[in-house]
Amino acid sequence: MTINEIAKLAGVSRATVSRYLNQGYVSEEKRERIRAVIEETGYQPSSQAQNLRTRKTRLIGVIIPKIDSHTISRMVGGISTVLAKRGYQLLLANTENNEQEELKYLKLFRENHVDGVILSGTIFTKKHITVLKDYQVPVVILGQYLSGYSCVYQDDYRASKELARKMAVSCSCLCYAGVTVQDEAVGRGRLEGFFDGLKESGHNPEESRAVECVFQVESGMKAAEDLLRAHPNMDGLLCATDDIAVGAMLYLKGQGKRIPKDIQVAGFGDTQIARIIEPNLTTVHFYYKTSGEEAARMLIDLLEAENPVYREMKMGYRIVERDSFREAGSESTEHA
C-alpha cells in the first residue's frame, strides 16, 4: 500500500495525504476520509515519513496585530529573548489588525511545520476557534484570555476601573476615548472598567460620554474634538491607549485647554511618548516584555515538558501618575 493508493481510495490528491501524514492542514472532511482508509487498510507509513512527522524544526510562529506598536514590540522582545536562549528561532507575521490575515498565517504556519505558535490577536471569530480546534501544534494566546488555551493577558478591566475611580474624585464630567468593543481586552475590558469605575464613584455615566476610535494619534485628536463638542464641560478624559491620549492632548491644548487644570488626561501603555509629551502623561504600566517572556516559556513547556499543563496567567499592572493628573507627582501604584 502506497500514498498514491491511499489517495485514490480516499478520493483526494497525493499531496493532501502527505499533508495529513505530516500534520499539515487538511479539511475536516478529507481528514476523516483519509483516516478511515488508513484504518481499514492498516497502512503504515515508511520510517522516513514517520521521521518527518516527528522532526522538530525549532521554529516558532509569532502572529502580531501591528509591528509598529510600542506595546507589541516589547512583547516580541520578551518572546525573542526566551526563544533564543532555548535554541528556537522566531518567525514573525504582522497582520495589521486584519483578522483574515491572522487566519491566513495560522494556516501558513501549520503547513510549514512550525513547532508551535504564539498568537497575539485582537478579535477571535468563529473561524478562529474552528482553525485553532484543528491545530496540531501547541498554541499560546498572548494579550487576551481564551478559554481552553494557555494564555497570558493583562488585567485591563481592573486597571481601567481603578484609573476611572481616581479621576472621578476630581472630575464632574469624565469621558472616554476607546477602540472597538470587538477587541475583548483593549476594547471591551477597558470600556467596561471605565463605566463601572464611574458607577462605583457615584457618577451616572451616559453612553454619549464614550467615543470609539483607532490606535492612532490622529484618531485621538478627532475623539477629543467630538467629545468636547458634545460635552463642553468635560474636565477629564481617559483614553484606551497612550497614542490616543497624546492625540487628545494635542487637540485640547490647541483649543486653549490647560492640562490638567481644565482637563486631566490619562492613557494606557506607559510608552515613551507618554514620558515625552508635555505635560507628561498619567498612564497604566503593563508588563508587556514580561508577558512575552511568560508566553514563550509556556509554549516551550508545552513542547518539551514530560507532562505539559495548559495554564492561564493574568499579569499585574502599575498606575503611574504624572503631570497630566491633577495633584499628580511621581506616585506609582502597583497591583499584582
Q: Answer for the pair 156, 185: CB distance below 8 angstroms, yes or no.
A: yes
Residue-level pLDDT at 266: 97
Confidence of residue 291 (pLDDT cuts 50, 70, 90): very high
The cell for 99 is 483578522
Q: Which letter does DSSP use for residue 174 in this model? A: E
Mean pLDDT of the chain: 88
Confidence of residue 3 (pLDDT cuts 50, 70, 90): confident
Q: In which residue are the cell numbers 481528514 written? A: 31
Task: Give the pLDDT mean for 76-85.
Answer: 96
Task: Give the pLDDT mean for 138-165.
Answer: 94
Residue-wise pLDDT for 233-261, tens only, equals: 999 999 999 999 999 999 999 999 999 99
Q: Answer for the pair 21, 53: CB distance below 8 angstroms, yes or no.
A: yes
Q: Can you state the angle between helices 3-10 and 14-21, rounded to 10 degrees?
A: 110
> How far apart are the C-alpha atoms of 84 and 274, rounded to whole Å?
30
Distance of CA 22 to CAs 120, 312, 331, Å?
Answer: 26, 29, 55
SS3 335: strand
Q: Is the pLDDT of residue 55 over 90?
A: no
- Rg, the chain, Cα only: 24
Q: Is the pLDDT of residue 51 over 90?
A: no
Residue-wise pLDDT for 135-145, tens only, equals: 888 999 999 99
The cell for 38 is 488508513
Q: Is the pLDDT of residue 47 over 60?
A: no
Residue-level pLDDT at 61: 95
